Structure 1
């Protein structure tokens, strides 16, 4: 049985976990059936910032990306997964996407952190970083 403090913490985390978890669930499912052109496009985009990803087969890359997103969705949506664990997974993924935003040419206005039209899709992932860090902090505080 959960203590009053644990119930309040779980209730506070619910909107965060649902919002991010359903986002990752949808994204992971949509990549499961990616065709060759989509797989190659996603891999090439990621490899511009993280060159080691270019050495992998494009289909395998997208399959692993999909499985990773589905694993993060499960960590967020399954309530028995501790907040700090779910938050760490979400934070790690979002740091990667923010890295793409910061390091890929054309994503930001020259000399600024402000996104270009093309950069908005990655710049918005800062909310995932905020949710991930919040879950980590909440999870650490739960165990004190």
Structure 2
């Protein structure tokens, strides 16, 4: 069982609860929500056009629920939870960078603020990864 780094607990609890709540909200989303979320994502990642909007919303909701639970579960190593969070955040920031109207230069437009603020997820994920790897490499063998 991995050692639990208590300094990660506040970050993992807050981030995990936020993402879990987001996923639970999407899980029971209606067709309008599905169409909106799918439309934004498919506009940036065209391969998603192959999925129907309600199915995409369920997959996204399930991924958010799993990620939130992984962050909340102290048995999940920091490096693994951080890697998952970093990948998720990179996908969100891809929306910010590639969706027209989200930014002017690097600064967010009013429409882009909701996604640009997710840069904090990238920072948290990277910190969990690097700290988890660093702590793992310092364990006695």
Distance 1:121 1:54 in 2: 23
Distance 1:142 1:124 in 2: 28
Deviation, 1:54, is 1.3
Q: In the alignment, does 2:133 pair up with 1:140?
A: yes
SS, match of residue 143 in structure 1:
helix
What is the root-mean-square deviation of aligned Cα atoms in Å? 1.3
Distance 1:137 1:65 in 2: 26
Q: In the alignment, does 2:120 pair up with 1:127?
A: yes
Q: In the alignment, does 2:15 pair up with 1:20?
A: yes
Deviation, 1:12, is 1.1
Distance 1:30 1:69 in 2: 10
Distance 1:11 1:113 in 2: 35
Give deviations 1:87-109, integer Å, cap 9, x for gaps.
00000000000000000000001
How many residue pairs get matched? 137
Deviation, 1:11, is 1.4
* Normalised TM-score (structure 1): 0.92
Give deviations 1:12-35, integer Å, cap 9, x for gaps.
111110121011111000001111
In the alignment, what sits opposite 2:86? 91
* Normalised TM-score (structure 2): 0.93
Write out aligned runs for 1:1-144 (5 A): 6=3, 10-109=5-104, 112-144=105-137
5+ residue gaps, structure 1, are none
Show structure 1 runs of 4+ deviating over 3 A: none
Deviation, 1:56, is 0.3
Distance 2:108 2:8 in 1: 29
